[in-house]
Amino acid sequence: MDKKDEKILTELTLNSRIPLNQLAKKVGISREVATYRINKMIKEKIILGFYSVIDVEALGFSRYGCFFQLKGVSQEKEKQFIDYLLKHDFVTYMSPVIGKWNVVFDVFTRDKKHLQKIIKEIVNKLENYLEKYS
């Protein structure tokens, strides 16, 4: 990887839908060279994919951050819970953390009633392993 590849990655990070001719112009290379370099980075697994960032609020959803403190949970049970969150339809971000909370995650919901339903569902999944949540 050289400076041109780094510039391509920077531009794609800012806007993964940038037209190739604009990308090439910003990097100072031809469109064909830009295409070649991008394809090479995909083949070498430097670029793993492209994705869209959706404005869920425009679709009528709100984001809520959730913080869970677990107690007496085995590593296996915690892993199962994390896998469950990662597959949940309304959980969009999840991370195990060290400190007061063990797991933090974001939930997108239509309203407070929907949020309460989702939290109840997640809390029930934890059985007796939940110390507290916020």
The domain spans of the chain are: 3-43, 56-133
Q: Do 3-43 and 56-133 fold alike per CATH?
A: no
The answer to whether domain 3-43 has CATH 1.10.10 is: yes
Q: CB neighbours of 35 closer than 8 A, spacing ≥ 6?
A: 20
What torsion, rounded to 10 degrees, do the Cα atoms 95, 96, 97, 98 define?
-170
The second-level CATH assignment, the architecture, of 56-133 is 2-Layer Sandwich (3.30)
Q: What is the pLDDT of residue 109?
A: 93
Per-residue pLDDT of the chain (134 residues; tens, 9 = 90+): 899 999 999 999 888 889 999 999 999 999 999 999 999 999 999 999 887 778 888 999 999 999 999 998 888 988 888 899 999 999 988 998 888 898 999 999 999 999 999 999 999 988 788 998 99
Q: What is the pLDDT of residue 16?
A: 87
What does the alpha-carbon distance between residue 112 and residue 50 come to, in Å, rounded to a whole number? 32
Collapsing DSSP to helix, strand or coil, 50 comes out as coil
